[in-house]
Structure 1
Amino acid sequence: MQPLQARRRGLLAAIGAALAAVGLVVAMGANAYAATLLSDDFEDGNSTGWTTSGGSWSVATDGSGVYRQGGTSSDARALAGTASWTAYSVQARVKPTGWNGSNRFVAVLARVQSNTSYYYLALRSNNTVELKKLVGGSSTTLDTASWTVATNTWYTLRLDLSGTTLRGYVNGTLVGEATDSQYGAGRVGVATFYGSANFDDVLVSDSVTTPPTTTPPPTTPPTTPPVDPGPNQADGWASVNAWGQNGTTGGTGGPTVTVDTAAEFLAEVATAGARIIRVQGMIDLPGPMHDVTSDKTIIGVGASSGFTGGGLNVGLPLSDSITSPPANAVRNVIIRNLNFRSWDDDAINVQMFSHHVWVDHNTWTTGVDGGVDIKRGSSYVTVSYNHADGTDKDMLLGHDDDNSAQDVGRLKVSYHHNFFDNTNQRNPRVRFGDQVHVYSNYYLNTGNYGVASTQNAGVIVEGNYFENVDDPYHLAEGSSSDGRLVARNNCLVNSGAGETGGSVSNPSYAYTLAPQCDIKAIVSAAAGVGRI
């Protein structure tokens, strides 16, 4: 394992003829490009290579180093790079922090000729995003789309330019495309218009990726971006339309039954079809685990219901010969508001390409193995608002280094607002899973480590609160090789710096981040049973 230290770096690539370097790039939401022209995450504490016009620019801290524009009384720009750049992609994360009036914007700039002439992708306070050009201070809109814009929320803006083709993206979604020959080359930049903002993770690549053929044509850009479903609905990866299932609804539409014995519960959970199963009191299940069929909601009554002795298995029997999702894979399961105690194997096991599973507001204490293990090609799972109380092995994602045939391209899981309370490890430990999103969780007194990314997994660790955690996140674990891990906007209190490396694309769903240093209070008050 490499030393535990942050590997995010400052300005790496050529700016003029003076600087030329090849290094590690942490790309927020971008594809892995062929070569990097410029990368700046401002962790070095300076803005070397940038020139500004208007506003009040400074390198500041917002969970990590950012380039802050604090003024709202005018337009403001910061420029970098070289005038000879032609075909490239420029990307930055931006968080609007305030507006002075209506219809203001934040933007990334490309092929900059001067402070009054360039292309730009503008995220506006009136909930639109516009692909535009500025010629001598006069603007022309080339394409536009609707996009919800909120202050104190991070967005990833990307502008791709290849010949006369321009494409704009927000959070990885194509929002505008145009053909224009006004400018063929130029510098890059970030800007605000009567607004304040923080900018981070600026990345310029010399290769532009053509969007897949399934991307909607530019004449019909998305009219509405993904929407966070809100409370009491599955969010994160469990909300995505994929594999023939649109979101996770569990037993909605089926009968509601209440059970208080193991026999009653096992009969109901094995019955085909939609069912809402209310668990009354603590039920002693024989070990180790019991199969859950598709289209089920299993929900505890009050704060004192759940299972002891045995756990739940969401998935078909194990088979190494199945390497793609079968038609009869278990899907559409919700497990909420349950206590799990003294389980004989795993408290919850999701396996064999099971998908659209939501594990929410549960509490588990010590058992033999994992709290929630997800493996063997399972995907589109959200694990949220759970309380892991003093457990050793919490959340394993991907069970074996040799299981790439089932796991690569799958294991898409969101972990958010969970309370890892005096736990030891696997919070989570990830193999192969890509776009694994670990955000807004509270880690307290973690014994071994928090998050581990291995076997080329792609993990985003974002907006979490780590308290008394020597090793909040790292690459590789045991015999498993390095994964990729991007960490941003985490609150580290009496904790180590963590280890990052590689690039990870942002997930395709909408989500909302609270200020990272508020997460302790939010999660402490909301995670676990009895709080839905």
Structure 2
Amino acid sequence: VHHCRPSAIFSFLSKLSFFHTFNYPHSLIFSFTMKYTGFAASATALMAGVASAAVTGVTGKPEGFASGTTGGGDTAAVYPSTTDELVSYLGDSSPRVIVLTKTFDFTGTEGTTTSAGCSPWGTGAACQQAINKDDWCTNYQPDAPTVSSITYDAAGTLGITVASDKSIVGDGSKGVIKGKGLRVVNGASNIQISDINPHYVWGGDAITLDGTDNVWIDHVTTSNIARQHIVLGTDACGNVTISNSYIDGSGDYSATCDGHQYWSIYMDGSEDRVTLKNNYIYQTSGRAPKVQTNTLLHAVNNYWNDNSGHAFEIGEGGYVLAEGNVFENVEAPLEASSFKGELFTADSGSACSSALGRSCEANSLSGSGTFSESNTDFLSKFSGASIATAVPASEIKSYVTSNAGIGKLAQ
């Protein structure tokens, strides 16, 4: 499937909330779309070092490749009062701790757009549809049934740009961004995103990184997303840690027409280093994650549950060390037909010692396909890097289900 660089729409609720409701029937936009009649979402995006007693700050520090990320640090907090002011704070060149105390509603500000589309994955009630954006249907799915008209809110097709050294902080349940997303792109660095719930994203990816460095995504919940829950685009995303997050792939519509989200996590950068730790990846069917181009991924102590297709899709240039993970009822932990990269599944604990400075932890599988690859040649790529710790897989299921996702920072 061809991957175009996405425009995200976020709807978040809780401490920092993004809430969006649409009444447009049947389809979501971008290259791939979901069919829903409306949606709401919520999230708290928060960074560390916030000097405000009214705001709960990020607990702990990032492990792995994004260690040292500080966001806006201890700069004095600012409190935007209008959508224009919020956009200005997020995109300016100053370090910022941005506290949201109200709803910032972008819906309807750019009108609606109507476009044709297609149904490449089937015409059943549970199947996603696709917008013919950039002639995607025409060029890549010429034989798919056509959809004559899909109407969507235009404001959500391009998210708000987030510049370097930013912290976004929701004040209790008051901080709401409605109908817009966040894009961390074009050299932006030192950004922390924590305790948020991108939810019912209309026509794009939930979290987009492209050409970034030092980004920590922590205690995030993503659900009802049209495309990728998290995507790293083709430009390098140097040091990224995704931790303690809940990728919820359940929903009424999917590309596999079975309520299991296919577009989960996509890592496609030219020089990406990613730590994926303590995450709960639930009810997916593919790209969970997809890793390729030149991406070094350390997947450690994650829990995959109820995957009707495949978890890892590793293309050429994808280098994956997977250790201490739990796969439960995952049809194919690794998609064998597309496997062109390098993978070590850490069956031998001692093989990691020279690269990581410690032994690896074995993975655990139940009700799942095979997951056993022994290529260790690439482990030297971890040399000198900040490496996340690991615990035995037997400790992961209970820990992750209790701690991953929004609202669990204190756990």
How much has 1:311 moved relative to structure 2?
A: 2.0
Mapped to 2, the partners of 1:512 and 1:308 lie a distance apart of: 37
How much has 1:264 moved relative to structure 2?
A: 4.1
| Residue of structure 1 aligned with 2:388, choices 511, 514, 523 | 511
For the structure 1 residues 284 and 339, does the alpha-carbon distance in structure 2 shift closer, same or farther, using more than 3 Å as the test? farther
Task: State the number of aligned residues.
Answer: 271
| Residue of structure 1 aligned with 2:89, choices 268, 271, 281 | 268
Mapped to 2, the partners of 1:370 and 1:282 lie a distance apart of: 25
**1:228-281 CA distances to partner (integer Å, 9 max, x unpaired)?**
xx9521221111xxxxxxx21110032223457644432221122111123446
For the structure 1 residues 275 and 437, does the alpha-carbon distance in structure 2 shift closer, same or farther, using more than 3 Å as the test? same
Gaps of 5+ in 2: 1-57, 107-154, 251-260, 347-361
Q: TM-score, normalised by structure 1?
A: 0.48
| Residue of structure 1 aligned with 2:156, choices 281, 287, 304 | 287
Mapped to 1, the partners of 2:272 and 2:283 lie a distance apart of: 26
Mapped to 2, the partners of 1:260 and 1:520 lie a distance apart of: 42
- Residue 283 (structure 2) pairs with residue 422 (structure 1): yes
- Residue 68 (structure 2) pairs with residue 236 (structure 1): no
Contact map agreement 1:381 1:414 (CA 8 A) in 2:
yes
Aligned to 2:343: 485
Aligned to 2:242: 383
For the structure 1 residues 454 and 361, does the alpha-carbon distance in structure 2 shift closer, same or farther, using more than 3 Å as the test? same
- Residue 227 (structure 2) pairs with residue 369 (structure 1): yes
The aligned runs of 1:58-457 (5 Å cut-off) are 232-239=60-67, 247-259=68-80, 262-280=83-101, 283-285=104-106, 286-288=155-157, 289-302=159-172, 307=177, 309-316=179-186, 329-343=187-201, 344-352=203-211, 354-375=212-233, 376-390=235-249, 392=261, 393-398=263-268, 407=270, 410-457=271-318
Letter in 2 for 1:397: M
How much has 1:465 moved relative to structure 2?
A: 1.1
Q: TM-score, normalised by structure 2?
A: 0.61
Aligned to 1:180: none
Contact map agreement 1:253 1:274 (CA 8 A) in 2:
no
| Residue of structure 1 aligned with 2:321, choices 460, 475, 489 | 460
Letter in 1 for 2:156: G
Mapped to 1, the partners of 2:266 and 2:226 lie a distance apart of: 14
Q: Which has the higher strand share?
A: 1
For the structure 1 residues 493 and 270, does the alpha-carbon distance in structure 2 shift closer, same or farther, using more than 3 Å as the test? same
Mapped to 1, the partners of 2:196 and 2:209 lie a distance apart of: 16
Q: Which has the higher helix share?
A: 2
For the structure 1 residues 440 and 492, does the alpha-carbon distance in structure 2 shift closer, same or farther, using more than 3 Å as the test? same
Mapped to 2, the partners of 1:282 and 1:420 lie a distance apart of: 29
Contact map agreement 2:100 2:174 (CA 8 A) in 1:
no
How much has 1:491 moved relative to structure 2?
A: 1.3
**1:199-236 CA distances to partner (integer Å, 9 max, x unpaired)?**
xxxxxxxxxxxxxxxxxxxxxxxxxxxxxxx9521221
Q: Which segment drifts farther, 330-339 or 496-505?
A: 496-505
**1:373-418 CA distances to partner (integer Å, 9 max, x unpaired)?**
112212101111111112521210007xxxxxxx1xx111111111
- Bigger radius of gyration: 1
Mapped to 1, the partners of 2:173 and 2:218 lie a distance apart of: 13
Using CA pairs under 8 Å that are at least 6 residues apart, name the structure with larger relative contact order, 1 or 2: 2
Letter in 1 for 2:379: S
Mapped to 2, the partners of 1:306 and 1:495 lie a distance apart of: 40
Mapped to 1, the partners of 2:198 and 2:273 lie a distance apart of: 24
Mapped to 2, the partners of 1:518 and 1:485 lie a distance apart of: 23
Report the secondary structure of 1:444's partner residue. Answer: strand
